[in-house]
Amino acid sequence: MTEQKQTFADQKRKTVETAEFTEDGRYKRKVRSFVLRTGRLSEYQRNMMNENWSEYGLEHQAEFFDFEKIYGNSNPVVLEIGFGMGKSLVEMAEQNPDKNYLGIEVHTPGVGACLAYALEKNIKNLRVICHDATEILRDCIADESLGGLQLFFPDPWHKAKHHKRRIVQPHFVETVAKKLTVGGFIHFATDWENYAEHMLEVLQSVQRAVGIHNISKTNDYIPRPDFRPLTKFEARGNKLGHGVWDLYFIKD
C-alpha cells in the first residue's frame, strides 16, 4: 500500500482527546490523546468526513456555540452523546424537523457513516462533533441552552472495578441539568440491567438538587418510546434476549 497524505479524517482518528476522571466521576483537567485502534475507517467514510465537515462538523472551541447562527433558527437543540454509526440520530433529525440535533462521537468510522446517511436523507438540522463530550459540555455549551440530552446504549463497563469509568455519574448529570432549558429532557437507554439500576440511582440521587423529575409512573423506567428509533445495539440485545431500560427525566 502506498503511503498517503494524512487527511483531516485521519488526523481526527489519531488524536481524539478524551477526559480523565477522579474516582467519584469528577472531571480532571489532565487530558490525554490516544490512538483509536478499533473499527476500520473506510475510504468512503474518510471521504464523507473530508468533503462534508464544513457543512456538518463543529470543532471544540473556547467559547459557547451560537446555535441560532449554526442552525439558522431558534429551534430546540437536542444533544446526543455517543451516536455510534449515527443511523438513529439521523432518523430522529428527519422525523423532527422542528428540532436541531447535535451529535458527539469520538470514533471516526461512526462519524463518517453518520455524515453519509445524513447526506442520503438530505438532513439539514444536524451537526456532529468528533471530540470528548465532557470538554464540549464544559467549554462549548452554555447553561440553559439545550432542549434535551440523549445517551443511548453507552459502554456499560460491566466489571465492578470499572464502574467509575461509566459516563453516568452524579457530576455528569449535574452538568447536563445546568445546560438544559426548563422543560428540557434527559433520556438514557441501556440493555444492561445493572447499568440501568446505576443510572436510576444516580439520577435519583441528584434530582432534587438539580431540579429534574422522573416521568415514569412507577418512578423508575418508562416503556420503550416510539420516538426512539431502534438502534443496532438494541436489535442485537433483543436477539440475545436482553431487556432494554429507558429513563426519562424532565427539568422543572
**pLDDT tier at 15, thresholds 50, 70, 90:** low
* Interval 66-102: pLDDT, tens: 999 999 999 999 999 999 999 999 999 999 999 999 9
- Determine, yes or no, domain membership for 17: no
Determine the Cα–Cα distance for residues 226 and 154; give it in Å rounded to an integer: 20
- Determine, yes or no, domain membership for 215: yes
77 compared with 23, residue with greater pLDDT = 77
- Which residues carry a binding-site annotation for substrate? 159, 191, 231-234
User: Residue 191 maps to which CATH number?
Assistant: 3.40.50.150
Q: Which residues contact 51 (CB under 8 A, 6 or more apart)?
A: none
The model carries a pTM of 0.88
How many domains is the chain partitioned into structurally? 1
The closest of 8, 245, 196, 252 to 115, measured between CA atoms, is 8
Determine the Cα–Cα distance for residues 77 and 72; give it in Å rounded to an integer: 12
Three-state DSSP state, 124 = coil
Determine the Cα–Cα distance for residues 201 and 180; give it in Å rounded to an integer: 20
- Determine, yes or no, domain membership for 48: no
- Predicted local distance difference test score (pLDDT) of residue 24: 55
| Catalytic positions | 155
Which residue range is the domain that position 214 belongs to?
64-251
**pLDDT tier at 39, thresholds 50, 70, 90:** low
- Determine, yes or no, domain membership for 126: yes
- Determine, yes or no, domain membership for 105: yes
